[in-house]
Structure 1
Amino acid sequence: VLIATVAATIVAVALAILVTRPAGAEFLPLSRSLVNIGQTFPPLAVLALAVPAVGFGEKPTLIALFLYGLLPIFENALTGLTTLPANVVEAARGAGMTGWQRLTKVELPLSAPIILGGIRLSVVISLATATIGSTVAAKTLGEVIIAGLLSNNLAFILQGGLIVAALAVLIYDGLSAIERYTARRMGRGAE
């Protein structure tokens, strides 16, 4: 989940930066369509399509998690970068900041809470999706659930499901706390 989320974050934020700059604005509709297409395929179908290309194990699971992680991060990064207060961006421009300085010192820090919200959603979606990776021989938390389904053992199914659910709630709450902290910090910084 971590590898796929980091990769999805890098690609999604870079893509959002690209399409919010004047040089890349014409690619916004295409990038939105491609990211949305990745979200329309069921995870099991992505796994089934990836197995012939990359084999069994972790690789097809990482591909599925990457595709599913892109949408929330991309949309939130896009929202964060396009809803910045115009007066703040203009003040940075008026202060003589270059485009790179505005991006790294003003736009990304102010967008961080919204981008973190997308990462939080992506991680929770990926955690739930990762459990089906066990169907293609990946070592995931879904192994217990699959073993329970194969042996008709309700205790295994519940055990695996509860572990995944508890982990999802803990990660969601932890990332929510980081998101709130960042929002407060950026709010104070903007005042």
Structure 2
Amino acid sequence: MTAANALRLAVLVLLVALVVHPQWFEVFFAPLAPEGGPVMYERASLLSLSLNHLGLVFAASGAATLVAVALAILVTRPAGAAFRPLARSIANMGQTFPPVAVLALAVPSLGFGSGPTLVALFLYGLLPILENAITGLTNLPRATMEAARGIGLSRWQSLTRVEIPLALPVILTGIRLSVVIALATATIGSTVAARTLGEVIIAGLLTNNTAFVLQGGLIVGLFAVLIYDAMGQIEALLVHSARI
């Protein structure tokens, strides 16, 4: 086992232990808790909050990926090239509009809970995926595209068999960035009663309990590191496969 793999395994074991058996770490968090106050967050299961947090992130990121890649395909076709500035403007708007504002605007129509959080994560995750998908689909090797036309591939066949596979590593980079952004942003969903790890952080801030804040932040950070690394490994494999 390489040092990198050993480090990945150690981080994974630490994360699982912290989520499943948080009481094992009480001695480490105790100095950060207020005198006489609780050390470990016990109002809800950290495992349940983690699963809900990840569920929101992957649901929103999945929807953002489908919409962003579809838009990128549309605006990189000759018939849709005129819509490229509009698509980029919409994605930029979603990125620059504060997630807290999206939550506030979505609550009256969607109510409290996961709905507003999903909307905020979806809008916030569009831009990285769209920009990378457009970049990947517009910077393909000219010789490869000419070869695809030369062997008689239709536009659909060229897209599915040549363009998307070649652009996939670049697209995956955008998805990886979007997912990591969503992991962090999802914590604010607890301000509108979404069940996320932000619940632990907010409880710590409200009670001046640094132990709670560190627990929530550490779990989110470990998830971000592991997911970012895992998607990076997949991306590297795709790049290697494309070169063979």
Q: TM-score range by the shorter chain?
A: over 0.9
Which consecutive segments of 4 or more residues in structure 1 shift more than 4 A? none
Amino acid at match of 2:75: V
Distance 1:69 1:185 in 2: 27
2:230 aligned to 170, 174, 185, which one?
A: 174
CA separation in 2, counterparts of 1:51 and 1:127? 21
Residue 34 of structure 1: how far off its partner (Å):
0.7
Q: What residue number does 1:59 align with?
A: 115
The residue that corresponds to 1:81 in the other structure is 137
Per the alignment, residue 13 of structure 1 pairs with 69
1:187 aligned onto 2:187: no
Match of 1:38 in 2: 94
Give the match for residue 142 of structure 1: 198
Unaligned runs of 5+ in 2: 1-56
Partner of 2:173: 117
Considering only aligned residues, what root-mean-square deviation do their CA atoms show, in Å? 0.6
Q: Matched residues in 2 for 1:39 and 1:127: separation?
A: 15
Report the number of matched residues: 188
Superposed displacement of residue 49, structure 1: 0.9
2:140 is paired with a residue whose SS is coil
- Post-superposition offset of 1:26: 0.4
Aligned amino acid, residue 141 of structure 2? P
Greater per-residue helix proportion: 1
> Identity over aligned residues, as a percent?
70
What do residues 108-138 of structure 1 show as CA deviations (whole Å, max 9, x unaligned)?
0000000000000000000000000000000
Counterpart in the other structure of 1:157 = 213
Cα distance in structure 1, aligned partners of 2:123 and 2:242: 30
Q: Secondary structure at 1:28's aligned position in 2?
A: helix
Structure label with greater radius of gyration:
2
Q: Displacement of 1:90 after TM fit?
A: 1.0
How far 1:187 moved relative to its partner?
1.7
